[in-house]
Amino acid sequence: MAEDNSTQQPVRPVLLAALRQDQKQNLDYELEELENLALANRLEPVETFIQALERPNPATYFGKGKVEELRMAVQTYEADLIVTNDELSPSQIRNLEAATQATVVDRTGLILDIFAQRAQTKVAKLQVQLARLEYQLPRLRTSMSVSLDQQTGAGGAGFTSRGAGETKLEQSRRRLTSEMVAIKKELAALQKDASTQGKKRQESAIPTVALVGYTNAGKSTLMNQLLTRFGQGAESDSSKQVFEKDMLFATLNTTIRQLTLPDKFRFLLSDTVGFVSKLPHHLVAAFESTLQEAANADLLLQVVDVSDEHSQAMMATTEETLARLGIKDKAMITVYNKADKAQMAYPVIDGEAAITISARDRQSQDDLLALVKKALFADRKEVTLTVPFADFAVVARLLDDHELISQKFDEKGTIVTLALSPDEVNRYQQYLQ
């Protein structure tokens, strides 16, 4: 298993703040998630503030009384950072910072910061950087500093300062825009290579399965368990596994590995970045190419932490995110994981599209794989081929890729019986009996 290379920073006290605008809003779930996001970024929430408002204050997001509470809490806890549950406008952040004398980071900014720390591959780093620049662009501010006024006489101070500030702002905008263009070009080149690799995988006729779901639901744990048993070298080489840790967004990289089962059924398994409610649209757009592994998969495994009281909301988050990516009507098996933690019976199969498991339980893995095989290989049918001795390389390839049902020989050649997909039946049509 790969090591955690994230930079360890000292724990920093932080205040959490949220608006309740709708009684139907699942605010408890959102705040629990916000707290976990803060903890994932080595921040220590010391108090949470909630205000009920029909609509946000356009100037400071929160009402005047709540802003004053936040200002006093900043002094009481000596916490110089406030994290809000919703994305704020640039002016709201500026006004709230001025009123509370603390740095204000909204939910989007917090998630972007976590992603920036966790990104390991070149593609992931570029995607995160692009998302951060797109987030920062409308939030650029002029310094509005006194130093500008001090450089001019009183008569022309206002106009000259304004012009200097605007020039600096435009320079910053051009710089960020240029960086974004350069990153997009570099990503396009890298994604072209990835697309070529993806086409080769599709042409190989090996079906693909993608793990999707809420972050920290156990996708990486499940993948590592399957890799240890059925991957090539993963049982002895931890670098071929994926990083797993009990925290949000433990890994951002999409990992693709081939699994070969004892009956020689093979498929590619990918572990995608986890989802979270209110996932910033900047990140969804930036990671769209990475999440194409899910879009192109033959089968999705939606992994759900059934031990979490908010599991239904997490499933809704996953389905909403998939819809935002244009992934609809895709074959899916819902995997209710962490049943041991929830003190539920496992493994329990519920039809052909749902199963309750514990990822580290071998019988759970076997039952899940039985469902996967049924979904991926249901169209395989048993056929008998007679292959001339001169074409023995064909027999060798068939035996390498398929479980042999029977084999015998006669004067015409080797007679083999095995299960083939429709495409394979067409490919070996000339040998059919």
Tell me the per-residue pLDDT of 270-297, one tens digit each, with 9 for 90 and over: 887 777 877 777 777 666 655 777 888 9
Whole-number pLDDT of residue 399: 86
How far apart are the two ends of the chain, measured CA to CA in Å? 48
How much is the average pLDDT of 257-279?
85
Mean pLDDT of 99-111: 93
Least confident of 159-163, 177-181, 388-392: 159-163
Angle between helices 27-40 and 107-118 (to 10 degrees): 40
Task: Determine the number of helices (DSSP H) and then strands (DSSP E) in the chain.
Answer: 14, 14
Residue 199 pLDDT > 70: no
When pLDDT is cut at 50, 70 and 90, the band that residue 327 belongs to is confident
Contact 71, 99 (CB under 8 A): yes
Q: Which residues pair with 281 in a beta bridge?
A: none
What percent of the chain lies above the pLDDT cut of 70?
82
Average pLDDT over residues 204-208: 76
The SS3 assignment for 58 reads coil
Backbone conformation region of residue 344, classed left if phi is above 0, alpha if psi is from -120 to 50, else beta: beta
CA–CA dist 419, 132 (Å, integer): 50
Segment 34-43 mean pLDDT: 90
- Selected residue with higher pLDDT from 131 and 192: 131
Q: Calculate what percentage of the chain has a pLDDT beyond 90.
A: 45
Residue 411 has pLDDT above 60, yes or no: yes
**Which segments within 21-149 are labelled E, that is strand?**
43-52, 81-84, 103-106
DSSP at 138: G
Continuous segment of H or E residues that includes residue 130: helix 122-136
Residue found under tokens 């019976």: 345
The Cα-based distances of 211 to 71, 229, 269, 324 in angstroms read 44, 17, 7, 17
| Cβ–Cβ under 8 Å, residues 79 and 73 | yes
Q: How many residues does the chain have?
A: 433
**pLDDT for residue 202 is more than 70:** no
Cα–Cα separations (whole angstroms), residue 70 to 60, 362, 366: 12, 50, 53
| 17 bridge partner residues | 49, 84
CA distance 417 to 238: 38
* pLDDT value for 145: 34
- Give the SS3 label for residue 164: helix
What is the mean pLDDT of the segment spanning 21-49? Answer: 88
Helices within 212-352 (DSSP H only):
219-230, 281-286, 292-296, 311-324
273 compared with 9, residue with greater pLDDT: 273
- Lowest-confidence pick of 89-93, 193-197, 358-362: 193-197
Cα 273 from Cα 220, distance rounded (Å): 10
Least confident span in 50-54, 136-140, 237-241, 329-333:
237-241
Give the per-residue pLDDT at 107: 92
Q: How many CA atoms lie within 13 A of 294 on its CB side?
A: 29
Buried-exposed string 193-226: b where 16+ CB fall within 10 A, e elsewhere: ebeeebeebeeeebbbbbbbbbbbbbbbbbbbbb
CA 320 to chain CA centroid, Å, is: 13
The confidence score (pLDDT) of residue 158 equals 40
Q: Tell me which DSSP letter residue 275 carries.
A: B
Taking residues 356-379, what's their average pLDDT? Answer: 95
Pairing of strands 255-260, 266-271: antiparallel
Least confident segment among 83-92, 133-142, 245-254, 258-267: 245-254
The answer to whether 356 and 345 are in contact (CB under 8 A) is yes
Q: Over 60: is that where the pLDDT of 247 sits?
A: no
